[in-house]
Each structure stands twice: as structure tokens, then as C-alpha cells.
Structure 1
Amino acid sequence: MTLRADAPAPAGARVHRFTPAERWVHRTGAALMAVCVATAACLYVPQLAVLVGRRELVVRVHEWAGLALPVPVLLGLLSRAFRADLGALNRFGPHDRRWLRAALRRDRRYAERPAGKFNAGQKVYTAWIAGAVLVMLGTGLMMWFTHLTPLLWRTSATFVHDWLALTVGVVLAGHIGKALGDPEARRGLRTGTVSREWAEREHPLWRP
């Protein structure tokens, strides 16, 4: 982000990053994902299953939370700002490839690599989690409506659903870990604004 030379922002100035609609989509999706992960753990970890009990209720909560996961994104499409963010997340440029190469090489300078509103890591994560949710939804529906598909399909769906769920848990843990290490990014999602210094350092190509 480059501020105008004739109107420099004062120290400590904040810039707008996310609208209320964008923050609502993130919070609601995160809450639904948390419910899915928590109920899945209660279904597959014996100690938690015994502790919680009421398996039938846990199964129903898990199914409906999973079915509702795409809803916040679909409603978010009514927001022009959210659609613009999706477009930015879906575009990769040369600077994104440089960012990824440096990150994969564990280069300490990768945080200084140029990034737009979203860096390459955020773009990869968003694409992966969106695809994973769609696969989880499809395989989950096969497991839920058992009369609609043959046994072989349901067995394969169960295998894919279970192992992908484990992978999603690991990726989410990494995502949360990165968020915990960046208080200003979390503040941006909480309040909608970030500091000018953070924006210039982490997303120098961003033009708010």
C-alpha cells in the first residue's frame, strides 16, 4: 500500500480492511467449522465419545453444521466487497510465486515479499479449504443418505471423509497458529481496520 505523498497519514493511522459483511462471513464460517471439528472429535475419539455421550445428537449436529458450511459464503456473495475479495484470492501474480518460493525455502525474508490485500499463503489456504469443504459435503451426503448410493460408493466416501477430516484439522491448526502470531491481522478481522504500518509492511501492493 502506498499512501499519497501530498497527504501522508499520521503515525498510528488505521486503514479500512474488511466490511461488516466480510467479517460476518468469516466469523460464521469459523463457528460452523469449529462445530464440525468438535463434533467429529466426539464421534471418533473414544475418550471424548464416552465423556459427551448422546451420540445420535452429536451426529445430527455434525450433519447440519456441515450442511450449513457453504451458507455464509453464498450469503456473502450479496456483498460487493466480499465478491471483490474472492476475486483477489483467486488471482495469482508473479509476486505470489516469489512469496511461495521464499516461504517454502524457509527464507526469513519471505514476510517482506510483496503481497496485495492477501498474500500467497492466504490464497493457497483459501483455495484448499474451499475444495476440502466441497469434498466433505459431497462425501458426507453420501454417508447421510445411504439409500441413494451403492455400498461401494458409501465405503469410499467414508474413507475419503475420515482422512480428509483429519487433514482439515491439521491445516486448521496451522491456520490458527499463524493467526495467533499476528495480532494485527486478528484485529483487522475483529474491527475491520489495521494499522498503516502493518499494511505497508505485510501487504505493500495493497491499494485500499
Structure 2
Amino acid sequence: MTSTAGSTGPTGVATRRQPERSARVLRFTRAERWVHRGTGLLMLLCLTTAACLYLGPLAQLVGRRHLVATVHEWSGILLPLPLLLGLVSPAFRADLRRLNRFAAYDRRWLRAARKRLTAPDLRPAGKFNAGQKLYAGWLAGAVLVMTATGLLMWFTGLLPAVSRTSAIFVHDVLAWAIALVVIGHMRKAFQDPEARLGMRTGYVSLGWARRWHTHWLAEDRPAAQDTRDP
């Protein structure tokens, strides 16, 4: 006996859920993905070269300190470039507006995270959850400070009121903080294969979007209406 689409039997449930599993929703355009990749590559280059300059064993292993320092300086200067190029994309500008906007459900998400509530309490979010918004905002500010202190170290007479020693101290402390935060970001990404798929291909499953980013589908449906059924 075959169950109909409205059946409450096991076969009926399977037939209702299968399209949701297979449907794909557009999450990131090609421009958005390239901005993320370019920024990530430059950030990893900055952190890797910084480790080779700061940690003695790595410095001895790699050698060529002048070359490493030059790569570090220029990767830091070029770090904002992918974001600036991404401003040409309307989709990327829309994502920046989302990241800069905190809604009531974001505050609920943060309260649930602080209280370490169960996963269902953390699900309702927009295209980006509150944790991702805080990460993006903090990292943007940290990159600006790192660029400023790096320039003060490079051009010592740029701002005479600030000593080179002070700039080095802020630069070093913030570099460690950025390294820890980026490692945490990568760890969370590796725990969510569907999120990585979205950043790699641009598409995520409709079921994943409904589970973790409910308000994105509800509020931004025109932006997410491009679906595919492989």
C-alpha cells in the first residue's frame, strides 16, 4: 500500500521531507565567496608570517627574515582590498548591512548562548547569527588597529606622539587575540559541513537554512529565492 502526500504514515513523512533535503538555496554569490577567500588567504598569510617572525624556532627554521617581513607587511596592507573590491557587489553590500544590524532574535540568541541552552534555542537567526555578527565586527576593528600600528612601526615618524614601543606592544597583543579568534572561527566552520558547502559552492540545503537561519528565509526571501533541485 502506498501512502499519499497527506498520509501520516512513514512513507508519507519521507515523501514530504525529501524535497526539502534536495532543494538548494542560494546563500552566497560568487563575489561574496571571493571576498571571503581573498580575505581569509591574506589573513592566514599575515598570521603565518607573523609566527615566523615572532617565534624563535620557526624563525630559525624558515630563515630569510627580510623576505618574510616584507610578505607580512604587504599582506597586512592588502588585507582590506578584497572587502573594498567587494563593495561593487550589491549582494555583498546587503550582507554588510545584515552584519551591522542587530535584531530582537539576535539578542535572544546571545542570551541563550550565555546560558548554554540546548541547540533548539540557538536556531532562530537571520542570514548570520549573533555570534557571526560579533565576530565580523570585532575582526574589522582589529584589522584597522593592526594596520594603524603596523604603519606606525613601519614609518616611525608618522605619528610622533605615539612611540614605536607602544605600537609594537598593541600590535603583538592584538595579533595573539586575532590568532585565537580566527582559530575559533575555523573550528566552528569545520564542525558545520553545510556551512562550508555554502561558502564553497554558494548553495545550502533548504532544510539546513530552515533549521539554523529561519529569519533569513522569512525576512530575506527575495535574496534567497534562487533554489535548485539536484
**Which residue of structure 2 lines up, in the alignment, with residue 202 of structure 1?**
212
Aligned residue pairs total 201
- Residue 23 (1) aligns with residue 33 (2): yes
- Residue 146 (1) aligns with residue 156 (2): yes
**Which residue of structure 1 lines up, in the alignment, with residue 64 of structure 2?**
54
- Residue 68 (1) aligns with residue 78 (2): yes
- CA offset digits 1:34-56 (Å, max 9, x no partner): 00000000001100000000001
Within-5 A mapping of 1:109-120: 109=119, 112-120=122-130
8 Å Cα contact 1:114-1:204 kept in structure 2: yes
Aligned counterparts of 1:71 and 1:163: Cα–Cα separation in 2: 24
- CA offset digits 1:171-204 (Å, max 9, x no partner): 0110000000000000000000000110000100
DSSP-derived class of the 2:25 partner: strand
8 Å Cα contact 2:51-2:58 kept in structure 1: yes
RMSD between superposed Cα atoms in Å: 1.5
- CA offset digits 1:62-119 (Å, max 9, x no partner): 0000000000000000000000000000000110011011111211236643101110
8 Å Cα contact 1:103-1:110 kept in structure 2: no
Offset of residue 151 of structure 1: 7.7
What 5-or-longer segments of structure 1 have no aligned partner? 1-7
Aligned counterparts of 1:81 and 1:14: Cα–Cα separation in 2: 18
DSSP-derived class of the 2:204 partner: strand
TM-score, normalised by the number of residues in structure 1: 0.93
**Which residue of structure 1 lines up, in the alignment, with residue 183 of structure 2?**
173
8 Å Cα contact 1:98-1:113 kept in structure 2: no
Offset of residue 146 of structure 1: 1.5
Aligned counterparts of 1:17 and 1:150: Cα–Cα separation in 2: 47
Larger Rg: 2
User: 107-116 or 157-166, which moves further after superposition?
Assistant: 107-116
User: 91-100 or 150-159, which moves further after superposition?
Assistant: 150-159
Aligned counterparts of 2:160 and 2:46: Cα–Cα separation in 1: 26
- CA offset digits 1:2-28 (Å, max 9, x no partner): xxxxxx992311000000000000000
8 Å Cα contact 1:32-1:69 kept in structure 2: yes
**Which residue of structure 1 lines up, in the alignment, with residue 10 of structure 2?**
none
Aligned counterparts of 2:187 and 2:43: Cα–Cα separation in 1: 16
TM-score, normalised by the number of residues in structure 2: 0.84
8 Å Cα contact 1:95-1:113 kept in structure 2: no
